Amino acid sequence: MLEKLKKLPLNTILMIVIVVLALLYLKQCNRSSNLNSDLKIANMNQLVLNDSITTYKDKAGDLTYQKGILIASEKELKDLNKELYNEVKDLKGNPKIVIQERIRIKEVPFAVPTYITQYPDGYTGLNWRRDTTYSAGNYQYLSGETKFIYDSLGIRNPTTFINTNEIGISFITGIKEGKDHYEIFIKSDYPGFTVTDIQGSILDKKMVTTNESSVVFGPSIGYGVVFNPSGNISHGVTVGVTATFNLNKYIKKLFKPYRL
């Protein structure tokens, strides 16, 4: 093998050296790109850990709550958010995203129509019912009865029964691109709807990282400059295996600085 290399023209040997150095350089670039992505994820997660719930009104005028979401595998989540990790570790399958949202409903005081019923056993019943539909998917069905005995001794044995207690809440939630990290958003038309906490993590990093490699290897066919074994340079059809540096994903990052 060494004897064959000695017989090659100097120009051919130089080209081989250049190709080998180029491949090593591209490999190093790809490794640096991966390290850069890990660093960006770490910085984004730090922003999320220091983030708090903010609100804004969307184009329709609806109040929307938002907060940053972590990018962390199940193993990494154990150190970043133990509460979420405890929810994920027992899940079956391969969850991609986990989100936990705490909601509080605080309605304003309201009047409930009440009807009096007299029972043969001497009890008096106050029956009340309130069925309200606020909007599609948002409703409250509430009914009950308060029973007691009313005689010369006053009111005795008062007891209240809740017969119906049903609440329907429709809300929209998802993930969007924020200014410098990804964010969870949630909104609802239900009266008194308030979000008190938002936690979440993108467990599958492939969902937010590009699968485009910096170095692309593969068969190729084209037309260009050809260096033949004799050391001469010509042009023509080229067929073989090539390694190229992919600029496409770097161009995309110009428009989204935190794109991974």
pLDDT one-digit tens code per residue, 154-168:
889 999 999 999 999
- Inform me whether the pLDDT recorded for 173 exceeds 80: yes
Return the residue matching tokens 């609100």: 55
Q: How far is residue 236's CA from residue 223's CA, in Å, rounded to a whole number?
A: 5
> How many other β-carbons are positioned within 10 Å of the β-carbon of residue 7?
8
| 125 touches 146 (CB < 8 A) | yes
Return the residue matching tokens 């290897």: 217
Position 73 confidence tier, pLDDT thresholds 50, 70, 90: very high
**How does the average pLDDT of the chain come out, rounded?**
81
Return the residue matching tokens 């910085």: 43
Per-residue pLDDT of 112-142, as tens digits, reads: 999 999 999 989 999 999 999 999 999 999 9
Per-residue pLDDT of 205-239, as tens digits, reads: 888 876 555 555 566 676 666 656 555 666 666 66
- Inform me whether the pLDDT recorded for 108 exceeds 70: yes
The helix or strand, by DSSP H or E, that contains position 74, with its residue range, turns out to be helix 74-80
Q: How far is residue 11's CA from residue 22's CA, in Å, rounded to a whole number?
A: 16
DSSP secondary structure string, 147-188? EEEEETTEEEEEEEEEEEEEEE--EEEEEEE-SSSEEEEEEE
Q: What is the structure's pLDDT at 38?
A: 83
Higher pLDDT, 90 or 21: 90
| 23 touches 217 (CB < 8 A) | no
Higher pLDDT, 64 or 39: 64
Tokens matching residue 248: 């496409």
Whether this prediction's pTM lies above 0.95 is answered by no
